[in-house]
Amino acid sequence: MEDKLMLMIPGPTPVPEQALLALARAPIGHRSGDFSKIFADVTAKLQWLHQTQHEVLVLTASGTGAMEAAIINFLCRGDRVLVGENGKFGERWGDVCDAYGLQTERVKAPWGSPLDPEVFREKLAADSNKTIKAVIITHSETSTGVLNDLATINRYAKDHGTALIMVDAVTSMGATSVPMDDWGLDVVASGSQKGYMIPPGLGFVAVGPRAWDAYKTSNLPRYYLDLGKARKDAAKNTTPFTTSVNMVMALQASLGMMQREGLAAIFARHERQQRATRAAARAMGLGLLADDSCASPSITAVVPPEGVDAEQVRANLKKQFDIVVAGGQDQLSGKIFRLGHLGFVGDRDILAALAALEATLQRLGHSGAVGAGVSAAIAALGAS
């Protein structure tokens, strides 16, 4: 049906009506007092979401632009960095580091497995000359649905003493707790079309004081993504370059909704929906790429059973039910499909998607008790 699409992909995620209506407002001048008030309010709300007193800077860019800003503002040519790589977005961090001539040391794990914190511990502990300048981690690996153990890896980085910790929180921010100040995270990058519940078009970089110290000596070239410029102007509630005014107005609306729901409730909702999705998948006889111990709160990668084609599952969900789920990327192409439960997703959406998935599997000839998946999801969602 026209206009009936339901996005269950890990971004863009569904956008609530009040954010859509804010997008449709006539723009105001980005240098006006009225806009500065909006920008100040949005900045305070972003700090709330990041659980930080430090700057959260707004870039007109995608999440990758925010990631690149993290790298190029706080490091120097030739710096040794440890980059966690267990999926497409970990690979991307490494690619960005390579593009700027860093000494990129990849700490790999297979796609679908979590990064091993012990490898980081060993490398950091052995670095008595303090040559490691940063540890760069994808928190929730969107390509596999794995949540890396950021808390532990961060602890090892802290034990090292000088290495910065930089986090891609693109699909974890707004889905699970990323307590920037409590953990002492130095740089946290994210993007608007995920937990923020607005369309793509804005990137965010939160920056702590140790990173600003490193900024002073960083020598990588930059202009548009120069966070020092952004910091200076953010102090005056503005941006160095014309910001995406309508997107910022939509963000004000969506962050307001998030504040009214509350951080604890948001995180509990994502965790509950993740458990329900995984329980249902198991009950339907489907495989799960990531183990329970490292399951992302926002995205579940499902391995279809023998004889069922992942792309056929996606095609039927789209055609019959107007539900869009994501496919596998690169080495996982055709082998999995990925169900997003990120952002503006209610328990009703989860039941609808899982029921549609059961109908689809039946149509594709998968034997199994129809109804088992939905029953398992209902049980997992509980009475809340």
CB of 107 to a copy of itself, least distance (A): 20
CB of 289 to a copy of itself, least distance (A): 19
CB of 100 to a copy of itself, least distance (A): 5
Q: Give the separation between CA 216 and CA 178, rounded to whole angstroms.
A: 26
Closer Cβ to a copy of itself, 103 or 152, answer by number: 103
Closer Cβ to a copy of itself, 19 or 286, answer by number: 19
Closer Cβ to a copy of itself, 113 or 246, answer by number: 246
3-state secondary structure of 302: strand
Longest dimension (CA), the chain: 62
Q: Are 333 and 311 in contact (CB under 8 A)?
A: no
Residues that bind a copy of itself (CB under 8 A): 3, 5, 7, 9, 11-12, 14-15, 20-21, 23-30, 32, 60-65, 68, 95-96, 99-101, 191, 193, 199-201, 220-226, 241-247, 324, 326
Closer Cβ to a copy of itself, 284 or 339, answer by number: 339
CB of 378 to a copy of itself, least distance (A): 27
CB of 144 to a copy of itself, least distance (A): 17
**Beta strand extents in the chain (DSSP E only):** 6-7, 55-59, 80-85, 103-108, 132-138, 140-141, 146-147, 164-168, 187-191, 203-207, 287-288, 299-303, 323-324, 326-327, 337-340
Which distant-in-sequence residues (6+ apart) come within 8 Å of 352 by Cβ? 6, 321, 323
CB of 241 to a copy of itself, least distance (A): 4
Closer Cβ to a copy of itself, 68 or 358, answer by number: 68
Residue 64 gets the label, from left (phi > 0), alpha (psi -120 to 50) or beta, of alpha
Closer Cβ to a copy of itself, 96 or 169, answer by number: 96
CB of 11 to a copy of itself, least distance (A): 7
- Six token digits for residue 381: 């969602």
Q: Give the separation between CA 364 and CA 208, rounded to whole angstroms.
A: 51
Closer Cβ to a copy of itself, 80 or 275, answer by number: 80
- Six token digits for residue 179: 């307590």
Fill in the DSSP letter of residue 162. Answer: S
Q: Give the separation between CA 239 and CA 151, rounded to whole angstroms.
A: 32
